[in-house]
């Protein structure tokens, strides 16, 4: 857990500065609030790379990712993400939360759409894994890690989907139609990975192609079936890609 403490110390000054700026914003500065929340999330996520909490890589055929092989670490990070989600929701009860649509008209369809979305996101890459030995894309994953990995994938991406699909896409929908808002959300999501692809790592444009594909699928799922469906699509896709099951 020393790595977790070092990670917290690494991101704390930046998060504190972002929090103070957020508190000083004018009451109706919704766009700036969304920007700062996403900016803070990118800081927390990208700092996971030098902390060793996850690894990303590319081969000539595909992109892969793996998380630290510590169930306790993944459970703590997932729980922290859920707490951050609840905190952000609590401080935006009378503002940004009004733009969130969690479910479509039929919640069961939202669940089905989330599962289908996950397969659409992960499917092309899972197919490519058949042509790349597992040793060249992160290696096998211990079976005992999988429950914690599933929890982390769903919990961690709840926060990300709240910001990109709940707040940003909802804000875009006020200014334009639902389809354009979905495309803006997808492209903004991919743009949020430019530093991960070019400075935090040197993985290059393949990461942007993957995240654009992922962002557009999740944005369309959210448009049709709500944020809960996009959380399921995003979280399950990350789990499938990181679990080493194929």
If you write DSSP's letter for every residue of 145-177 in order, what string do you get? GHHHHHHHHHHHHHHHHIIIIIIIHHHHHHHS-
Q: Which residues are within 8 A (CB) of 51 and not within 5 positions of it... i.e. 6 or more apart?
A: 3, 6, 7, 10
Q: List residues bridging with 147 in a β-sheet.
A: none
- Tell me, what's the pLDDT at 3? 80
Give the model's pLDDT for residue 188: 96
How far, in whole angstroms, is CA 124 from its chain's centroid?
19
Low pLDDT (below 70) residues in the chain: 1-2
pTM for this model (two decimals)? 0.93
Long-range contacts of 44-53 (CB under 8 A, 24+ apart): 44/11, 44/15, 45/160, 45/196, 46/195, 46/196, 46/200, 47/7, 47/10, 47/11, 48/7, 49/196, 49/200, 49/201, 50/10, 50/200, 51/3, 51/6, 51/7, 51/10, 52/3, 53/3, 53/7, 53/77
pLDDT score for 66: 95
Q: What is the pLDDT of residue 1?
A: 67
pLDDT at 95: 81
Residue range 76-103, pLDDT digits in tens: 999 999 999 999 999 888 788 887 888 8
Beta strands at 54-58 and 63-67: parallel, antiparallel or unpaired: antiparallel
Structural tokens at position 182: 């979905």
Residue 153 contacts residue 239 (beta carbons within 8 Å): yes
Contact 145, 74 (CB under 8 A): yes
CA 99 to chain centre: 19
The secondary element (H helix, E strand) that includes residue 58 is strand 54-58
């Amino acid at each position: 857990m020393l790595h977790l403490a070092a990670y917290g110390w690494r991101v704390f000054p930046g998060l504190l500065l972002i929090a103070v700026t957020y508190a000083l914003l004018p009451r109706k500065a919704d766009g700036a609030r969304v920007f700062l929340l996403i900016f803070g999330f990118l800081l927390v996520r990208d700092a996971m790379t030098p902390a060793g909490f996850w690894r990303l890589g590319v081969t000539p055929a595909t992109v892969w990712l793996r998380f630290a092989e510590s169930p306790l670490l993944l459970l703590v990070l997932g729980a922290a993400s859920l707490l951050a989600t609840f905190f952000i929701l609590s401080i935006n009860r009378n503002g940004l939360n009004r733009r969130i649509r969690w479910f479509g008209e039929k919640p069961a369809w939202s669940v089905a759409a989330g599962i289908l979305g996950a397969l659409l996101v992960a499917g092309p890459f899972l197919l490519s894994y058949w042509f790349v030995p597992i040793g060249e894309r992160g290696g096998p994953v211990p079976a005992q890690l999988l429950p914690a990995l599933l929890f982390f994938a769903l919990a961690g991406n709840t926060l990300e989907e709240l910001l990109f699909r709940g707040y940003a896409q909802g804000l875009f929908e006020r200014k334009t139609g639902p389809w354009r808002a979905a495309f803006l959300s997808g492209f903004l999501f991919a743009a949020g990975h430019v530093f991960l692809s070019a400075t935090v790592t040197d993985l290059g444009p393949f990461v942007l192609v993957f995240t654009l594909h992922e962002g557009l699928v999740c944005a369309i799922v959210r448009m049709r079936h709500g944020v809960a469906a996009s959380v399921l699509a995003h979280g399950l896709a990350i789990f499938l890609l990181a679990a080493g099951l194929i």
